[in-house]
Amino acid sequence: MQMTSSLDYAKEADKNDPLASYRSQFYMPPGKTRAEQLYFTGNSLGLQPKSVESYIQQELDDWKKYGVEGHFHGKNPWFSYHHFFDKEAKIVGGKKEEVVVMNNLTVNLHLLLVSFYGPTKSRYKIIMEAGAFPSDMYVIESQVKHHGYAYDDAVIELHPREGEHHLRTEDIVQAINDTGDELALLFFSGVQYYTGQAFDIKTLTAAAHDVGAIAGFDCAHAAGNVKMELHDWDVDFAAWCTYKYLNSSPGGVSGIFVHEKHGNNSETPRFAGWWGHKESERFQMKKGYIPEPGAAGWQLSNAPVLAMAAHKASLDMFDEVGMDALVEKGGRLNAFLEQVVKDAQLSNTKLEFEIITPEERGCQLSMLTNENGKALFDFLTENDVIADWREPNVIRLAPVPMYNSFMDIWEFGELLRKF
């Protein structure tokens, strides 16, 4: 059936959706004007899987039953709890030894930069996108200052061309080549949080390596959203949160990827803690740090089991569905959203906005509005649309394949027509 913004198309698409049943496995927030809100902020906080309660309850029961012995005798022994997340590697295209779940995102970025930003007198510059997520900017600012460099000297921020909203891959590659042997680190988003642009990680990594630099990525808006092959693309390191597209809980745990060429090298510098120590000798309490091979060697402390249990509930669903199916449906949802908002704009002269998300994207559409943008956002909120307002004037929409339907999007379009 050819895509249109019609009710018939939305109904037919939902009828033929192989993932439609997963919606019922999430709690949809109730609305004031409708039974359920139209929830389009999976790029900020994913909805709660109904299974989360039982997953957390299992660990509470084992704590109650076993006390400290739950580390070894619970249903999911806490000593090896991080191994239950080996399937996280499938989401980002890594080997299971290259991925571990631990800490929170910004903590993990700092830990990774200890390992992968080792500036020298001649090679100390970092290239990143201008307007990166604030936490990334703060991380980089504090890291270069820690090493004694001035931000404006050490950090090269790349802006889109005049009149454009997203960066061209060829311009990023040119900046890498121009910086050459002064470049220590390319640090980019996997998906740009504001515009929704998905960057060409493979090409950017190769360009960084060609000049002898490290390539690292914050994949907070990419993990669970777009298809990635971090190992095959030869990415050096990456980190992501799990509470956006991965639906793990507010402030949930973070994942990291460390390529095996670094993770299996015990000489790779890092900060150490006992949970990253060689697992077979961890409880021998010896002096002298021996890192566990792979990303696990970056762990510091034992797993925050209750937070990780919430993530495990969602991760098990992701493993069941697979990224290929999620990306395929996500692409169709986003294409339908674009069709719907453009047709609504044609029928309502009060709607003035520009879509600034390029074709290279995941589950996000960013609408650059005019001076009436906040009024439009408030109107949508009053009518039970949960979207995201980003200063100065962008409305971000992220219909995600695990729980959003085509009817959600059609109903959103009808509200736009009424504004």
237-247 pLDDT per residue, tens = 999 999 999 99
Asked whether residue 306 falls in the same domain as residue 400, the answer is no
**Confidence bin at 415 (pLDDT 50/70/90):** very high
Look up tokens 């070894």; give the residue: 72
Domain encompassing residue 401: 7-49+322-418
Residues 139 and 275 in one domain: yes
224 shares its domain with 351: no
For the beta sheet containing 237-241, the strands, ordered from the edge strand earlier in sequence to the opposite edge, are 99-102, 254-258, 237-241, 214-218, 183-189, 125-129, 155-158
Query: Residue 51 has what pLDDT?
Result: 98
Residue 75 is predicted with a pLDDT of: 95
| Position 69 confidence tier, pLDDT thresholds 50, 70, 90 | very high
pLDDT class of 228 with cuts at 50, 70, 90 = very high
Asked whether residue 194 is domain-assigned, the answer is yes
Q: Are residues 315 and 327 in the same domain?
A: no
In 109-145, which positions are buried (b, 16+ CB within 10 angstroms) versus exposed (e)? Answer: bbbbbebbbebeeebbbbbbbebbbeebbebbeebbe
pLDDT band at 339 (very low <50, low <70, confident <90, very high): very high
Instruction: Give the angle subtended at the CA of 118 by the CAs of 113 and 119, to the nearest 5°.
Output: 125
Give the percent of the chain with pLDDT over 70: 100
Q: What is the mean pLDDT of residues 317-345?
A: 97
Q: Of 293, 321, 349, which one is at a domain's C-terminal end?
A: 321
Residues 6+ apart with CB under 8 A from 367: 341, 353, 354, 355, 356, 373, 394, 395, 396, 397
Last residue of one domain, picked from the residues 299, 321, 343: 321
265 and 339 together in one domain: no
pLDDT band at 1 (very low <50, low <70, confident <90, very high): confident
Residue 145 domain flag: yes
pLDDT given for residue 62 in this prediction: 97
Q: What angle do CA 172, 173, 177 make, to 5 degrees?
A: 120
Cα–Cα separations (whole angstroms), residue 197 to 36, 170, 176, 194: 29, 15, 19, 8
310 shares its domain with 383: no
Q: What's the mean pLDDT when you consider all of the chain? A: 96
- What is the CATH number for 373? 3.90.1150.10
328 shares a domain with 223: no
Overall average pLDDT of the 171-182 stretch = 98
pLDDT tens for each residue of 16-38: 999 999 999 999 999 999 999 99
Confidence of residue 109 (pLDDT cuts 50, 70, 90): very high
**Does any domain span residue 157?**
yes
Would the pLDDT of 412 be above 80? yes
Residue pair 326/394 in contact by the 8 Å Cβ criterion: no
| Pair (314, 301) in one structural domain | yes
Number of domains in the chain: 2
How high is the pLDDT of residue 283?
86
d(CA 222, CA 232): 17
User: What's the confidence (pLDDT) of residue 326?
Assistant: 98
The whole-angstrom separation of Cα 385 and Cα 312 is 28
Assigned domain for 213 exists: yes
Assess whether 185 and 207 both reside in one domain: yes
Residue 64 lies in a domain: no
Judgement on whether residues 88 and 135 belong to the same structural domain of the protein: yes
CATH of the domain at 243: 3.40.640.10
Residue 40: inside a domain: yes
218, 277: one domain: yes
Confirm whether 61 is domain-assigned. Answer: no
Cα distance between residue 71 and residue 69, in whole Å: 5
Contact of 33 with 386, CB cutoff 8 Å: no
Amino acid 77: pLDDT: 96
Residue where a domain stops, chosen among 268, 297, 321: 321
Taking only the tens place, the pLDDT of each residue in 257-271 is 999 999 999 999 999
Domain presence at residue 162: yes
Residues 411 and 275 in one domain: no
